[in-house]
């Protein structure tokens, strides 16, 4: 024992007391390399360490992986890997590479002349004593070491799971580490879920919706085109996943359907049948379908004239095969060319195949749905057999959204002027969003309006789409949070990153995602872009949003009964 | 065991020295061998490696060579003459007590100092890092590539894991000579043949 031991006491294992944490945390970190160059705008270059296992450091790297550069001033730079490069100090080695049968030469060159580089994009930085990371304004100095991110690093950025933060997946190769989405920020602005067909958009969307509804962050109006969200779905191998109305026990959404027959055949518990009276249809409801119905500008303009002349039963009158005096008068007066009128009538024949359009409906389903939404109950509208009928989907979505939005505007204005209660935030979920938000019509449709006005009237969109390049640029720039599964079309990738600073470095990341259960999340609801393996949509998730299976229900019943018997209730 | 003495110093500088010795035996002195010589009144030793061995001629040899069929007796007589062989040594480090340092010594050795072969432990100490290779590459009149291979062969024998030593040496060389890939490749292939 030396005199120094009085000043630096040691533990039983002869380790200096007080240094355990530092040593442990250093050991837990896996060093990948050192910073050798780069810039704030174009990203940082890291020279990868040569590992003892041949090629391991390079081949273990993956674009989208989450790494931390430890600055020399103890700042941590949270970064994402955007590219991996094989480099060398002398190009001659490319002309005369070592013989693979000579491990001696290859080992030496691999550690020296030939080496790996990674480009990383710093997104956030954490000052030494700060608790919250801040947006990056500087870069790590030369030769700062770069480590694989640890669970602690991820938690520092994405926070703990709580009522406002929902676990939606794990960073790549970090199973069990939670990336939590800020739900308040997610519903605060319009959001999007993008990805090519078959990449799991519906599962991601269902997870997001389950979280928003379970945590009561917003009421959701879901236009469920392919019956993906409301009730359980079954894949081709017979595996089933429960729908939102089944797993959300305490905030169960109401399920409406356009096709009661199919819903009943699936044993869905429906709250009501959605029907539209011909007399309730306005020209603006049809206008969005103009490209699909192939209505010319003249014909589209004529719709408003016909509505004014024929009254609220204008659609029924146009579809009446017997004709009417009023229509004859319009022709006779020369206000409309007969050809135009005939073309409109011919194109309106499409409505006859939409059996949810009726002469007379017994209930006022729009009011019913609005009341539910403002009371905090979400609504899923299933399309059943109309799911493959895009005009039907667009007509209904447009029809209902226009009316619900109008009432929200009125409620919000009333709340503002009379200092009353604000309407519950509403998130409207539409699929095939590029059909609604096409650049040619986005400026004139209710969906374009909602996306542009942000949360002015407490109404936002959640757009689900596989062709984001078809969505109006101005609308895309207003999408706050973008959850993107694999996209391989260059135009779609460009569209997803429109309005995102420093996005160029993330393009490679997006194009390299797995086809299943991987997504890049960026924008308003996450502190920095992150690639995640999305969490499984399974029993664990069901329980996280309040689902009680039979055992849980029995336990809850017995607990309540016991309390009752003991006089607590 | 006392060190094996192989010659006496003829002339020296800080960077190199030359010693003379009798007709060499097959095993010594040889190209790339590590030798040492006392410096600073014997308080330290300069250590170096043999990079050249010169056998000078004289008039008698010239005359004998002119005779096409030299009898074997004359050749053997010639080999018994007191004609010194000049051996050039590149200084790589120096030793004070048991401490061995890479680099040039503070003073050159004095003439007629005795030259001895280095022990394995001394070679291991000098070559435990590879900075000595820089001095070899800086030598202007030594066959550096060939000397490097031979020196590393000697050094590897003094280290417990010969193959690992040569691999690490190769990595150091790759950093040192990365710009001259052809030379590097040739040296590394020679090292590989030593495995």
Taking only the tens of pLDDT, chain B with its 195 residues reads: 667 788 899 999 999 999 998 766 666 688 999 999 999 999 999 999 999 999 877 778 888 887 778 888 888 887 777 667 899 999 999 999 889 999 999 999 999 999 999 999 999 999 998 999 999 999 988 999 999 999 999 999 999 999 999 999 999 999 898 888 889 999 999 999 998
CB atoms within 10 A of CB B130: 19
Let me know if residue A545 belongs to a domain.
no
Which of A96, A105, A113 has its CB closest to that of B178? Answer: A113
Q: Which residue of B has its CA nearest to A99?
A: B189
**B49 Cβ partners below 8 Å, 6+ apart?**
B32, B33, B34, B35, B89, B90, B92, B136, B147, B151, B154
A445 in a domain, yes or no? Answer: yes
Please count the structural domains in chain A. Answer: 3
Spatial CB neighbours of B184, under 8 Å, sequence gap ≥ 6: A113, B173, B174, B177, B178
Sign (positive or negative) of CA dihedral A555, A557, A563, A568: positive
Judge if ipTM > 0.85.
no
Residue closest to A73 by CA, chosen among A169, A144, A133, A156 = A144
Q: How many residues does chain A have?
A: 569
Q: Are residues A378 and A483 in the same domain?
A: yes
Alpha helices by DSSP H, A159-219? 183-188, 201-214
Q: Helix count (H) and strand count (E) of chain A?
A: 25, 23
A356-392 per-position pLDDT tens digit: 888 887 778 888 999 999 888 999 998 888 888 888 8
Predicted pLDDT of residue A553: 63
**What average pLDDT does the structure give for chain B?**
89
Q: Do B174 and A112 touch (CB under 8 A)?
A: yes
Across the interface, whether the CB atoms of A112 and B195 are under 8 A apart is answered no
Q: How many domains does chain B have?
A: 1
pLDDT of residue A6: 43
Distance from C-alpha of A8 to C-alpha of A339, rounded to nearest angstrom: 98
Contacts of B191 in chain A (CB under 8 A): 104
CB pairs under 8 A between A and B: 40
In a domain, A144, yes or no: yes
Q: Please say whether the beta carbons of A363 and A272 come within 8 A.
A: yes
Query: Is the domain of A121 the same as that of A247?
Result: no
Q: What tokens does A217 get?
A: 């962050």
Chain A partners within 8 Å of B178 (Cβ): 89-90, 112-113
Same domain, A204 and A323: no
**Calpha distance A452→A167 (Å, rounded):** 29
Assess whether A268 and A295 both reside in one domain: no
The predicted pLDDT at position A16 comes to 39
For residues A211 and A217, give the distance between their C-alpha atoms in angstroms, rounded to a whole number.
Answer: 8
What is the 8-class DSSP label of residue A535? P
Any A CB within 8 A of B187 CB: no
Let me know whether A151 and A203 are in one domain: no
CA–CA distance, A548 with A149 (Å, rounded to integer): 36
- Do A243 and A266 lie in one domain? The reply is yes
Chain A residues whose CB is inside 8 A of the B184 CB are 113
The full DSSP string for A427-495 is: EEEEESHHHHS-TTTTTTSHHHHHHHTTTTTSEEEEEEES-GGGS-HHHHHT--EEEE-----HHHHHH
Select from B179, B184, B195 the Cβ nearest to the Cβ of A104.
B195
Residues of B in contact with A107 (CB under 8 A): 167
Residue A566 placed within a domain = no
Nearest CA in chain B to A92: B181
Same domain, A308 and A258: no
Same domain for A332 and A300, yes or no, is yes
Q: Which of B169, B174, B189 to mutate to test the interface with A (most CBs of A within 10 A)?
A: B174
Q: d(Cα A448, Cα A432) in Å, to the nearest integer?
A: 14
Are the CB atoms for A148 and A161 separated by under 8 Å? no
CATH number, residue A475: 3.40.50.300
Q: In terms of domains, do A301 and A393 share one?
A: no
Residues of B within 8 A of A105 (CB-CB) are 170, 185, 188-189, 192
Q: How far is B103 from chain A (nearest CA, A)?
A: 25
Q: What is the pLDDT of residues B132-151, one digit of tens each?
A: 999 999 998 899 999 999 99
Pair B59, B145: CB distance under 8 Å: no
Contact B192/A at CB under 8 A:
yes
Predicted pLDDT at A500:
73
Strands (E), A338-439: 357-358, 379-382, 426-431
User: Where in the sequence is the domain holding B165, given as residue range(s)?
Assistant: 5-193
The answer to whether the CB of A350 falls within 8 A of the CB of A344 is: no
Whether A225 and A268 share a structural domain: yes
Q: For residues A42 and A39, what is the distance between their CA atoms, to the nearest angstrom?
A: 5
Q: What would the DSSP string read from start to end of chain B?
A: -PPPEEEEEEEE-SSEEEEEESSPBTTBS-TT-EEEEEETTTTEEEEEEEEEEE----HHHHHHHHSSS--HHHHHHHHHS--PEEEEEEEEEEEETTEEEES--SSPPPTTPEEEEPPHHHHHHHTSSSTHHHHHHH-SSS-HHHHHHHHHHHHHHTSS-HHHHHHHHHHHHHHHSTT-HHHHHHHHHHHHHT-
A144 and A240, same domain (yes or no): no
Chain B residues near residue A115 by CB distance under 8 angstroms? none
Over the Cα atoms of chain A, what is R_g? 29
Judgement on whether residues A309 and A426 belong to the same structural domain of the protein: no
Treating both helix axes as pointing N-terminal to C-terminal, what angle do B162-176 and A103-111 enclose, rounded to 10 degrees? 50
Query: Do the domain assignments include residue A50?
Result: yes
Cα angle vertex A275, ends A312, A405, to 5°? 75
DSSP for A57-84?
Answer: HHHH--TT-EEEEE-TTS-EEEEEEEEE
In a domain, A307, yes or no: yes
Task: Give the residues of chain A that fall short of pLDDT 70.
Answer: 1-28, 51-56, 454, 501-502, 549-569
Put simply, the chain B residues between 117 and 176 with a CB less than 8 A from any chain A CB are 166-167, 170-171, 174-175
Asked if residue A265 is part of any domain, the answer here is yes
- Name chain B contacts of A104, Cβ cutoff 8 Å: 166-167, 170, 188, 191-192, 195
- CA-to-CA distance for A144 and A140, rounded, in angstroms? 6
> Can you give the length of chain B in residues?
195
Q: Provide the domain limits for residue A143.
A: 29-158
Residue A84 distance to chain B (closest CA, Å): 22
The chain B residue lying nearest A103, using CA atoms, is: B192
Q: Under an 8 A CB cutoff, do A105 and B182 touch?
A: no
The pLDDT of residue A139 is 93
Give, as one character, the DSSP assignment of residue A16.
B
Q: Apex CA A270: angle with CA A269 and CA A274, to 5°?
A: 165
- Quick one: CA dihedral A186, A191, A195, A201, positive or negative? positive
Do residue B175 and residue A112 have CB atoms under 8 angstroms apart? yes
Run of H or E including A115: strand A114-126
C-alpha span between A135 and A124 (Å, rounded): 5
Residue A12 lies in a domain: no
* Cα-based distances in Å from A230 to A202, A295, A366, A395, A536: 12, 34, 19, 20, 18
Are A185 and A110 a contacting pair, CB within 8 Å? no
Query: Which residues does residue B114 pair with via DSSP β-bridges, in sequence order?
Result: B8
């Amino acid at each position: 024992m030396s005199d120094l031991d009085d000043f630096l006491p040691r533990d039983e294992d002869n380790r200096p007391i007080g240094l355990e944490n530092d040593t442990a945390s250093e050991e837990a970190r896996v060093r990948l390399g050192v910073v050798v160059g780069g810039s704030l705008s174009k990203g940082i270059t890291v020279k990868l360490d040569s590992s003892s296992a041949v090629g391991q450091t390079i081949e273990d790297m993956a674009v989208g992986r989450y790494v931390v550069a430890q600055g020399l001033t103890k700042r941590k730079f949270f970064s994402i890997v955007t590219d991996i490069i094989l480099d060398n100090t002398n190009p001659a080695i490319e002309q005369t590479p070592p013989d693979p049968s000579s491990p001696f030469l290859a080992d030496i060159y691999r550690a020296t002349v030939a080496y790996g580089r990674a480009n990383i994009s710093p997104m956030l930085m954490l000052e030494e004593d700060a608790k919250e990371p801040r947006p990056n304004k500087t870069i790590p100095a030369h030769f700062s070491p770069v480590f694989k991110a640890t669970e602690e690093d991820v938690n520092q950025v994405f926070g703990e799971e709580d009522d406002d933060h929902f676990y939606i997946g794990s960073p790549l190769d970090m199973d069990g580490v939670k990336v939590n989405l800020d739900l308040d920020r997610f519903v605060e602005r319009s959001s999007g879920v993008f990805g090519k067909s078959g990449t799991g958009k519906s599962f991601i969307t269902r997870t997001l919706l389950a979280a928003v509804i379970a945590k009561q962050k917003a009421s959701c109006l879901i236009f469920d085109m392919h019956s993906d969200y409301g009730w359980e779905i079954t894949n081709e191998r017979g595996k089933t996943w429960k729908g939102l109305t089944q797993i959300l026990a305490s905030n169960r959404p109401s399920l409406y359907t356009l096709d009661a027959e199919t819903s009943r055949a699936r044993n869905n518990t429906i709250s009501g049948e959605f029907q539209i009276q011909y007399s309730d249809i306005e020209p603006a409801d049809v206008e969005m379908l103009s490209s699909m119905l192939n209505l010319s500008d003249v014909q589209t303009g004529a719709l408003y004239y016909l509505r004014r002349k024929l009254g609220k039963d204008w659609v029924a009158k146009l579809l009446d095969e017997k004709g009417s005096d009023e229509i004859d008068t319009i022709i006779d007066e020369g206000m409309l060319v007969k050809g135009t009128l005939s073309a409109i009538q011919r194109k309106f024949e499409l409505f006859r195949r939409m059996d949810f359009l009726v002469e007379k409906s017994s209930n006022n389903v729009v009011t019913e749905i609005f009341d539910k939404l403002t009371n905090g109950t979400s609504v899923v509208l299933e399309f059943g057999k109309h799911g493959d009928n895009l005009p039907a989907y667009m007509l209904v979505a447009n029809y209902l959204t226009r009316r619900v939005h109008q009432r929200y505007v009125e409620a919000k204005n009333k709340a503002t002027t009379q200092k009353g209660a604000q309407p519950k935030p509403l998130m409207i979920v539409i699929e095939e969003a590029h059909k609604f938000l096409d650049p040619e019509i986005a400026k004139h449709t209710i969906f374009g309006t909602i996306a542009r006005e942000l949360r002015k009237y407490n109404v936002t969109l959640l757009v689900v789409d596989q062709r984001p390049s078809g969505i109006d640029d101005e609308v895309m720039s207003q999408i706050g949070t973008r959850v993107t599964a694999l996209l391989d079309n260059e135009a779609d990738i460009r569209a997803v990153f429109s309005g995102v600073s420093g996005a160029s470095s993330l393009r490679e990341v997006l194009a390299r995602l797995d086809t299943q259960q991987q997504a890049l999340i960026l924008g308003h609801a996450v502190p920095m872009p992150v690639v995640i393996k999305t969490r499984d949509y399974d029993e664990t998730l069901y329980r996280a949003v309040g689902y009680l299976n039979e055992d849980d229900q029995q336990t809850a019943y017995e607990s309540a009964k016991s309390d009752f018997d003991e006089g607590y209730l | 065991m006392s060190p094996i003495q192989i010659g006496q110093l003829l002339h020296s500088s800080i960077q190199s020295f030359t010693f003379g010795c009798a007709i060499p035996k097959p095993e010594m002195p040889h190209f790339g061998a590590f030798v040492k010589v006392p410096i600073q009144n014997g308080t330290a030793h300069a250590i170096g490696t043999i990079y050249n061995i010169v056998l000078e001629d004289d008039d008698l040899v010239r005359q004998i060579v002119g005779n096409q069929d030299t009898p074997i007796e004359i050749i053997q007589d010639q080999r018994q003459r007191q004609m010194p062989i000049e051996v050039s040594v590149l200084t790589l480090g120096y030793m004070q007590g048991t401490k061995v340092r890479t680099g040039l010594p503070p003073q050159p050795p004095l003439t007629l100092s005795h030259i001895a072969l280095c022990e394995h432990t001394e070679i291991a100490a000098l070559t435990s890092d590879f900075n000595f290779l820089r001095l070899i590459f800086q030598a202007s009149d030594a066959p550096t590539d060939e000397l490097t291979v031979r020196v590393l062969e000697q050094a590897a024998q003094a280290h417990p894991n010969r193959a690992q030593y040569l691999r690490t040496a190769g990595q150091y060389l790759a950093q040192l000579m990365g710009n001259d890939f052809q030379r590097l490749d040739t040296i590394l292939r020679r090292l590989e043949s030593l495995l």
